[in-house]
Structure 1
Amino acid sequence: MKGIAEAVTGLERQLQQASELAGATGMPGVGGYLAGIYHAGQQRVICAGYANTAARIDMTQDTGFPLGSITKAMTTTLVMRYVERGEIDLDGAVTAYLPDLTLQTPGHVDTLRVRHLLNHTHGIDGTGLMPSAVRGRDAVKSYVDALAGCGTLFPVEQFVSYSNPGFSIAGRILEVVTGIPFTELLERELYEPVGMADSATSAEQAIMRRTAVGHTLDRRTGTIRPVDLFALPPSGAAAGSTAVVTIADLLAFARTHLANGRSPSGRRVLSAEFSALMRTVTHDMQTPNIPPIGYGWWLLQFGSTVAMWHIGGTPGCTSHLIVLPDYDFAFAAFGSGPGAPLRHERHTLWLLRDYLGLEVPVTVTFDAATSVDDAAKLAGYAGTYRTLQYRHDVRTVEGHLEHSVTFEPMDSDHARLGAYAGGPQPTKLAPVSNGIFAPADRPAESFTGPFGRMNLVSFHGTTPDGHPSHVGRALALARRDT
């Protein structure tokens, strides 16, 4: 078996090559980068670039960074601790804990069970919701209260669609059961027993130590600059808006799950039974762009082994965690700037293939003959699909499909997020198989890793007139509007 030093050398070489390609400005589209590897009892962290390019603050191994949605795996771990204690029932009705929970779709809340919150099968259309008016103890409650203005995308368990509401509701259930605000509970019931001593739960805590900020592309100058918004509102804390961690602490969390719920210090955080339950498939969409889901973990198949995976995003930042129990291996990474996902993808594939020696086949092949056999079938996919604050337009253009996404803020409070939502850039799609399409300007190999697969576009369900009812991209679905 190869040693961890070889893995570190390989990643450092890739980072150096990327920096050389970009010249003195650093890696293409990246302000700073952190990566950590744990393998069979050994652990190393490497860093490159800046935590803040404007202030010229170097990225260091102990720099904290906004975690984003990897927090969802931590929220799930917290819920499972209370399920194990008998204080929360996975099959219990959500309204038993939150009787005032309301949605616009009549009767939907009555069908919700706690487990639906943890595997993205709840169907609530609210992932773009991020109210900011309330801070402090009632922040998470304010998120759940705001769901009264949201509808649904599909009936419970019909599909899997990545979203924030389920975990915000789960966070609120934890608050109601314990009487403790979510961020305090995260510190007490997860950070402390796992040994995440350098992690924070708020921007106020993070500012007291070296912390990386997000970066974006300045379109006027063509250079990378810090973003204007450090963190998302605290109302989404349980879904990933406020946690700030270090690579070493994130690896400690990964190692706890590698050890079936026992932390690196030897403390029991979760039983082996419930740790295994989190990585057991609960729903499989049977499509390459939305992997099978356990509880809190996406589950990726590489040959005969299964990897637990999650990503996180906050303004200008992307975090990444992949955990392979069969190999006692975990890779954690953070990058700021639009080029970070590509770095995560390349490093992950190199580690899987070249370091661990796993078989990672190309996910898709372009096959127009089996995908779309006439213009009428192609036109059937066309239409407008919507999810809260996002409009997906699918059109037929000169014999192919074109897909674009437009951000439509629901109010002035959410409009500030528009700068990080991106503009409606139409993407020409090429058929892969029935109901699956890929950006036509990219080679099939670019859709092999977990990040690349999210760029695939899939169509699901059927309307009464025979058209697809939903479109899927980046792990999430939107419902046909017209």
Structure 2
Amino acid sequence: MSAARLDAFAERYVERTGLPGATVAVTEGRETVLTAGYGRTSDGAPLTADSPMRIASLSKSFTALAVMQLVEAGRVELDRPVQRYLPEFRVADPRGGRITVRHLLDQSSGMSDRTFPDASRPDQPQSLKEAVAQLRTAGLSADPGSEWNYHNPNYHVAARLVEKVGGLPFGSYMRREVFAPAGMDDTVALESSGAPSPGLANGFVRAYGADIALPEPDHFSAGSGGMVSTAEDMARWLVLQQSGGRSATGERVVSAASVAEMHAPSSHDGRSALGWMRREPEEGDHARLPQTWHGGALSTYSSYQFLVPETGYGVAVLLNTGIALTEEDSARLVDGLLALTEGRTPPEGGSSLWKVDAVFGVLTAATVALGVCGVLRSGDWARRRRGRPLWRTAGRLLAYLVPPGLLAVFQPAVDILLGGRDGTWLQRFYAIPAELSFLVLASFVCLGVVAVRVTALAREKRR
């Protein structure tokens, strides 16, 4: 596949969907086919292949590789309990002693957001040592090794293991033992999702057809989602994965056996690996090939990396917009690049976000107008109900409690829809600003109408 065709597709796609910016890396075996940037940063600068971008949960693949280096050195065994190497690791469940290093890396430790909601905790840790100490209050939702639960603290523990066994702070270990030998000089490991980094601009939230530059909500993510990289460095990373652990210059970073181990599906579910995920074509889908991949999602940045063993291609896409529940533009950009490398027709692209936001914008404006009207006419409303049974009047008012009721159950309902994943109100708002703005405003408007009408009814009763 020619670089020119990939480049033309990505440029046209970003333009047509209105994505503010994306950087792309495409490799084939040991060769870099394309690295490029499209769009702009929130500072107005054009995005290039050297622009730093938050890579979110792609960080987990790097942490897993660091652990595998220690495995190769004979200092760690994947199937030994974590407590053998990290005695400070304890959870509030006796089964915690059976959690192995492998369980951390393939997300089958039994820890989950349901039993330890780390993202919404007000007491965010300030170090990996503190992050591991906080897990003493964590329960387990399943026996270790029996169930897959995506849980960022698995990788906080893995990163703490790296710095404890490796003898260096996690960021220093990654820089010296992983990034430098891989030739990734512009990649850094930060401790939190919103930590500043040289040259890194704020990302965007997309709402009502506009791209709004906002700072990333800060939460602890060392080892799980705090890394910053570039398209150029991600190309070097993909080459390392496809070259048996050797860098583009031939330097050995990790063994071929370790790379194969990281990419191999785990026995407990077959869809996860060590710092990676596995995706098999659905039955009857002959268009796709088996993929080794991982995605990353923050509130203002998102990312994807894919390896396709049958073709030898690798694709990484870094975006300066967060993942919205109503938007698939970012995922379809990756799908299009993969389709081109496999000889398939890529999607044309064309955002549907503005349509959804337009609907909610109209609903929000209509709600405000009806609410103002309901308040102004509350006196007439109360007079018309003078002498009517109280239960009938109360029944008419109950309908106004639907939006506040939906708002009250919003967080737990979203947690369930996302498979139990934890998140803060701010993170939810960044993901669906138009929808949540409508629900919040509708709730306040309805409560205001109810309050004014109840007051008017009481006044009529006194008369």
Residue 350 in structure 1 maps to residue 336 in structure 2:
yes
Deviations 1:256-294 (A, max 9, x none): 010010110110011111111111111364xxxxx7112
- Given the alignment, which residue of 187, 190, 215 partners 1:228? 215
Distance 1:95-1:87 versus aligned 2 partners, 3 A rule: same
For 1:474, the equivalent position in structure 2 comes to none
* Distance in structure 2 (CA, Å) of the matches to 1:163 and 1:79: 18
* Structure with greater strand share of residues: 1
User: What is the CA distance between 1:128 and its match in structure 2?
Assistant: 4.0
198-207 or 341-350: bigger deviation = 198-207
Residue 213 in structure 1 maps to residue 222 in structure 2:
no
* Distance in structure 2 (CA, Å) of the matches to 1:339 and 1:168: 23
* Distance in structure 1 (CA, Å) of the matches to 2:275 and 2:421: 27
Distance 1:149-1:347 versus aligned 2 partners, 3 A rule: same
Q: What letter corresponds to residue 98 of structure 2 in structure 1?
A: T
User: What is the CA distance between 1:338 and its match in structure 2?
Assistant: 4.6
**Within 5 Å, which residues of 2 pair with 1:78-477?**
78-104=66-92, 106-126=93-113, 128-130=117-119, 135=126, 139-202=127-190, 209-218=198-207, 223-229=210-216, 231-233=218-220, 236-240=221-225, 242-283=226-267, 285=269, 292-302=271-281, 305-338=289-322, 342-357=328-343, 391-392=412-413, 417=427, 419-420=429-430
Distance 1:261-1:158 versus aligned 2 partners, 3 A rule: same
For 1:470, the equivalent position in structure 2 comes to none
Distance 1:404-1:103 versus aligned 2 partners, 3 A rule: closer
Structure number, greater radius of gyration: 2
Superposition CA RMSD, Å: 3.3
Indicate the SS of the match to 2:14.
helix
The answer to whether the 8 A contact 2:89-2:132 is kept is yes
User: What is the CA distance between 1:359 and its match in structure 2?
Assistant: 11
Distance 1:230-1:190 versus aligned 2 partners, 3 A rule: farther
* Distance in structure 1 (CA, Å) of the matches to 2:197 and 2:135: 33
**Structure 2 alignment gaps of length 5 or more:** 347-409, 437-463
* Distance in structure 1 (CA, Å) of the matches to 2:65 and 2:430: 29
User: What is the CA distance between 1:117 and its match in structure 2?
Assistant: 0.4
Residue 14 in structure 1 maps to residue 2 in structure 2:
no
User: What is the CA distance between 1:301 and its match in structure 2?
Assistant: 2.3
Count how many residue pairs are aligned between Structure 1 and Structure 2: 360
User: What is the CA distance between 1:15 and its match in structure 2?
Assistant: 2.5
Q: What letter corresponds to residue 258 of structure 1 in structure 2?
A: Q
For 1:66, the equivalent position in structure 2 comes to 54
Q: What letter corresponds to residue 82 of structure 1 in structure 2?
A: L
86-95 or 311-320: bigger deviation = 311-320
The answer to whether the 8 A contact 1:194-1:267 is kept is yes
For 2:39, the equivalent position in structure 1 comes to 49
Q: Percent identity?
A: 22
Indicate the SS of the match to 2:244.
coil
* Distance in structure 1 (CA, Å) of the matches to 2:69 and 2:260: 13
Distance 1:49-1:4 versus aligned 2 partners, 3 A rule: closer
* Distance in structure 2 (CA, Å) of the matches to 1:198 and 1:352: 25
User: What is the CA distance between 1:309 and its match in structure 2?
Assistant: 0.3
* Distance in structure 1 (CA, Å) of the matches to 2:323 and 2:138: 33
Indicate the SS of the match to 2:146.
coil
* Distance in structure 1 (CA, Å) of the matches to 2:223 and 2:191: 15
* Distance in structure 2 (CA, Å) of the matches to 1:141 and 1:404: 29
* Distance in structure 1 (CA, Å) of the matches to 2:336 and 2:58: 22
Distance 1:116-1:425 versus aligned 2 partners, 3 A rule: farther
* Distance in structure 2 (CA, Å) of the matches to 1:406 and 1:179: 35
Q: What letter corresponds to residue 198 of structure 1 in structure 2?
A: D
The answer to whether the 8 A contact 1:197-1:249 is kept is yes
315-324 or 298-307: bigger deviation = 298-307
* Distance in structure 2 (CA, Å) of the matches to 1:153 and 1:48: 43
Q: TM-score, normalised by structure 2?
A: 0.70
**Structure 1 alignment gaps of length 5 or more:** 19-26, 286-290, 361-388, 395-401, 427-482
User: What is the CA distance between 1:390 and its match in structure 2?
Assistant: 6.0
* Distance in structure 1 (CA, Å) of the matches to 2:213 and 2:70: 39
Q: What letter corresponds to residue 67 of structure 2 in structure 1?
A: V
Q: What letter corresponds to residue 22 of structure 2 in structure 1?
A: Y
The answer to whether the 8 A contact 1:322-1:330 is kept is yes
Residue 38 in structure 1 maps to residue 48 in structure 2:
no
Indicate the SS of the match to 1:7.
helix
User: What is the CA distance between 1:39 and its match in structure 2?
Assistant: 2.4
Q: What letter corresponds to residue 324 of structure 1 in structure 2?
A: V
* Distance in structure 2 (CA, Å) of the matches to 1:342 and 1:269: 35
* Structure with greater helix share of residues: 2
The answer to whether the 8 A contact 2:323-2:431 is kept is no
Distance 1:5-1:39 versus aligned 2 partners, 3 A rule: farther
User: What is the CA distance between 1:342 and its match in structure 2?
Assistant: 2.3
Deviations 1:124-163 (A, max 9, x none): 024741566554xxx1111111112221221112211211
Distance 1:325-1:99 versus aligned 2 partners, 3 A rule: same
For 2:366, the equivalent position in structure 1 comes to none
Indicate the SS of the match to 1:125.
coil
